Structure 1
Amino acid sequence: MPDAKLTVFVVDDDDDIRKSLSRSLEKRGYEVETHASAQGFLAAYDGARSGCLVLDYGLPGMNGLELQEHLNARKLSIPIIFITGHGGIPQSVQAIKGGALDFLEKPFRQSVLIERIEAAFQIAVERDSARERMQEKAERFDRLTAREQEIVDRILEEPSETSSKEIAGFLGISPRTVDHHRARILEKLGVRSVAELIALAGR
């Protein structure tokens, strides 16, 4: 069963293709949103909803490759499956280089499209998970005071000099003060040691 939290965004200026794809995908349990133009999609999409983009290459106005470039420039990361009736090898190479998952020529088998959508969903889930981990890590580091952040920065800059005495000498404060801050840092970051702190910062 498709993940209900993920959406297949279909962008194609051909009404029949758009409706046909929407019907067939919805019958299989997918959440589908359709748009007739790149501009219409951009007006509605802010990156908050996850899923994949089934994108016609030959759109009037802003074509599919231009939309891909626009999304990349805005760092709106969504897996793209291009569909086209008249794209060639140069266009497909450009699309793949831009991060597209595939470039399918019309007419294509529904089973092939479903397979690529499922692959795209897997990528979307992995990206969402990585984004959530990064957000959670950033929130932990945001809890630190300015002095605590100074100590963390020193630990990361000189991981071989992490004793309280060495850090105190560098910052011009007492080792006892560093001990106090270190305990608070470990508590706020949810780690048990300096080694875990360094590993957290590197992930």
Structure 2
Amino acid sequence: MSNDQTSKSTVFLIDDDDKIRTTLSRALTKRQFNVRSFESAVRFLAEYDPAKPGCLVLDYGLPEMNGLELQRVLADKQITIPIIFISGHGGVPESVQAMKAGAVDFLEKPFRQHVLVDCITAAFASDMAMRALEVDRKSARERFATLTTREREIANFMIANPSNTASKEIGRELSISPRTVDHHRARILEKMDINSVAELIDLSNSVADLI
């Protein structure tokens, strides 16, 4: 990961142990990571802005709301920040549950700092990739939204029938002339900023709710 990406991302550290929180914050800061620490999941939820890129280093055994409970809350809110669990007493069932729910890793205390750093680096890369994908999806949704009802109808037919996209076939199916189909097809490609039906299909695959 580039230094620029690291500088834009933040390690959100949640641990109710003041000593661990201070030690990890200092160690990660020395390695040029941006760190924000919280003593509880409740405090984190009250202050966290999902628009901020980064990852969550999360103690499993927190008071009020434990790590797995916070993971579920974030999932319910559709917040996809990558999570690295750290625990001094979490067992196999807890680690399996966390990993099945999408955690990057589940580290048993004490752990070597370089292992945590490697996890954070991987989590940052994952977060950046997810954010880039969401930007692409948003762009696709906005472009599909510019289509008229007839253009969307033709686009949906081509997406659903990739081997049968000739204007004559589309016109027969929709009871319009092939020339009219050609006109709408040109407008669809222009509005979607693409050059072919294959690109239209690829674009639709990134946002399955469009058709």
TM-score by length of 1: 0.92
Q: Describe the shift of the 1:160–1:113 C-alpha distance in structure 2 as closer, same or farther (beyond 3 A).
A: closer
- Secondary structure (helix, strand or coil) at the match of 1:3 reads helix
Percent identical among aligned pairs is: 57
Aligned residue in 1 for 2:178: 175
Aligned residue in 2 for 1:128: 131
Aligned residue in 2 for 1:156: 159
Which deviations, in whole Å up to 9, do the C-alpha atoms of 1:28-56 show, x marking residues without a partner?
11111111111111112242111110001
Distance 1:11 1:54 in 2: 6
Distance 1:80 1:195 in 2: 36
Distance 2:198 2:187 in 1: 16
- Secondary structure (helix, strand or coil) at the match of 1:4 reads helix
Unmatched segments (≥5 aa) in structure 2: 207-211
- The alignment yields a C-alpha RMSD, in angstroms, of 1.6
Match of 1:80 among 67, 80, 83: 83
- State the Cα distance separating 1:117 from its structure 2 match: 0.8
Matches within 5 A, 1:89-100: 89-100=92-103
2:168 alignment partner AA: K
Unmatched segments (≥5 aa) in structure 1: none
Match of 1:196 among 196, 199, 202: 199
Distance 2:161 2:104 in 1: 41
Distance 1:193 1:113 in 2: 45
2:134 alignment partner AA: R
TM-score by length of 2: 0.89
2:181 alignment partner AA: V
Aligned residue in 1 for 2:52: 49
2:71 alignment partner AA: Q
Distance 2:140 2:38 in 1: 36
Distance 2:96 2:47 in 1: 28
- State the Cα distance separating 1:154 from its structure 2 match: 1.3
- Secondary structure (helix, strand or coil) at the match of 2:159 reads helix
- State the Cα distance separating 1:175 from its structure 2 match: 2.4
Distance 1:198 1:109 in 2: 46
